Structure 1
């Protein structure tokens, strides 16, 4: 598959053994940071923190990405599958609540190889923390490796996803992949400390000027998932970074209280369970310092 990459919906066909795909990835995994992270949802970072592994590159390249340094600028260190497996074990030894694979879509072959080496030694859940733009085939490949899916569901409108992520088919692909994820891991399951052991948490970050698109996503989640299998995290952390192009003036401000609350209120009306965020989460201080630590 590395010779003609079709891992994600882009199906760019890159020969990643000699070049890179749309995502910026070649044959080997590239990691920017591996550490305990206490700022995930309460059921993910519930004790010592999630054992996050931040992968470089991305199949979306959103124009507003808070992890721009690694997703678009591709900062990181190339490592072998054996080195990646060692990182998993080190995070477990540090007391990580889980292994949290952040933006892993373009490295699932490396991740599967690495987990094959050490999965018999891992006693904590594996979290697949992705942008949602996945192929159903890729989700099927991960069956038996992933305990918790943590996908974004970023956009409902193809016009908006085309504008900000060059992916007009985003919702079509992401919605199918998320349904495959929930079917694969099944009902939510917790440990005695409230930590999630199994299940799916769907994230959605409200964007300025696009609350109606967010509300369509809320409606879809209510109609197509159940509270037995899915939690929703409605994020209020959009931050208008300086690197955002002047082509997107609507993204040059924070989300208003009215915009965010209208989305949250609809989710409550429709009986969706999950998490919300304080407005203080919209700050650059919550962006990790990608310093190659833990690699």
Structure 2
């Protein structure tokens, strides 16, 4: 079984990274929102996360990509809140309405260890961008107590370069969701200034750390980049631009999951252009655009196209 990269760090390095990340909370630049509030003293920014991590739930998840699930499931930890404010969020109860509870580092570490005990193949951090310092604190504790599983960083793509640098050699699988190839759409629908500009830099840095997705003999991913992209009505996400960026600036062997499960959740009803499901034609057009861009590892939830 492949072990997490963090076990290869020099003694004390994980604790050092955690300390540096926690210090960032005092003038918070942990994510790309750069709110610069003092989370150590209880000030809250856009994400509404404080000094402690907040978690909605955790457990083996069998609804992720096959390369993450295997036979034991992906060990998901669903963090409460988000550094994005997506008007169509399908997990809005968690990300926007704040369902969940604050947990100290020891308790978060215990969740990771429990997921390993239950046979999961990885630790899958869902929406972790605003809680990276707290995760690093907990990982340091968990590693000392025997955690060995690879770490999956399951993000909305709006990540700060300095924070990603702290995760270098710690995260094994980066799984960003590139939501839009249009900065104006990112601001309007997700409350993120220069969303695509930021996401492109972040994804390139992620790929530079872990390279293309690699799988073991069981077909389970243990390292690399896996990108998700949700197709929106009327191509509001400019999907073809996402695929062209990945093929031309990252790698034509980028593993891309093109998702068709959009439905008008949360506040989407307030936007006529978002207030419907996508059509099969729109989805096929997105997949065709990925092929034209030259991407070679396209996953559509029900099959793979190479």
Q: TM-score, normalised by structure 1?
A: 0.90
1:211, distance to aligned residue in structure 2 (A): 5.7
2:180, 2:237 within 8 Å by CA — same for their partners in 1? no
User: Tell me, what secondary structure is at the counterpart of 2:185?
Assistant: helix
Q: Deviations over 1:203-252 (max 9, x none)?
A: 11001112671111111111112245x211101111212x3254301111
- Of 278, 291, 294, the residue aligned with 1:268 is 291
Matched, 1:135 2:154: no
User: Tell me, what secondary structure is at the counterpart of 2:227?
Assistant: strand
Q: Distance in 2 between matches of 1:185 and 1:212?
A: 26
**Residues 99-110 of structure 1 correspond to what in structure 2 (within 5 A)?**
99-110=123-134
Q: Distance in 1 between matches of 2:171 and 2:119?
A: 19
> Gaps (5+ residues) in structure 1?
279-295
**Residues 187-226 of structure 1 correspond to what in structure 2 (within 5 A)?**
187-210=212-235, 213-226=238-251
- Of 78, 89, 95, the residue aligned with 2:102 is 78
Q: Distance in 2 between matches of 1:194 and 1:169?
A: 36
Q: Distance in 2 between matches of 1:151 and 1:14?
A: 25
Q: Distance in 2 between matches of 1:226 and 1:114?
A: 33
- Of 270, 273, 276, the residue aligned with 1:253 is 276
Q: Distance in 1 between matches of 2:104 and 2:251?
A: 39
Match of 1:37 in 2: 61
User: Tell me, what secondary structure is at the counterpart of 2:26?
Assistant: coil
**Residues 118-133 of structure 1 correspond to what in structure 2 (within 5 A)?**
118-119=142-143, 121-133=146-158
1:50, 1:96 within 8 Å by CA — same for their partners in 2? yes
**Residues 6-45 of structure 1 correspond to what in structure 2 (within 5 A)?**
6-17=29-40, 18-45=42-69
User: Tell me, what secondary structure is at the counterpart of 1:43?
Assistant: helix
**Residues 43-192 of structure 1 correspond to what in structure 2 (within 5 A)?**
43-119=67-143, 121-192=146-217
Q: Distance in 2 between matches of 1:118 and 1:32?
A: 19
1:119, distance to aligned residue in structure 2 (A): 2.3
1:211, 1:260 within 8 Å by CA — same for their partners in 2? no
Q: TM-score, normalised by structure 2?
A: 0.87
- Quickly say closer, same or farther: Cα 1:210–1:168, change in 2 above 3 A: farther
User: Tell me, what secondary structure is at the counterpart of 1:234?
Assistant: strand
Q: Distance in 2 between matches of 1:245 and 1:41?
A: 26
User: Tell me, what secondary structure is at the counterpart of 1:44?
Assistant: helix
2:82, 2:127 within 8 Å by CA — same for their partners in 1? yes
> Gaps (5+ residues) in structure 2?
1-23
Q: Distance in 2 between matches of 1:144 and 1:178?
A: 16
- Quickly say closer, same or farther: Cα 1:237–1:246, change in 2 above 3 A: closer
Q: Deviations over 1:65-123 (max 9, x none)?
A: 11100110011011001110110000000011110000001110011111111225223
Residues matched between the structures, number = 276
Q: Distance in 2 between matches of 1:274 and 1:97?
A: 22
Q: Distance in 2 between matches of 1:135 and 1:4?
A: 14
Q: Deviations over 1:161-217 (max 9, x none)?
A: 111012230011111011000001124322211000000001110011126711111
1:21, distance to aligned residue in structure 2 (A): 1.5
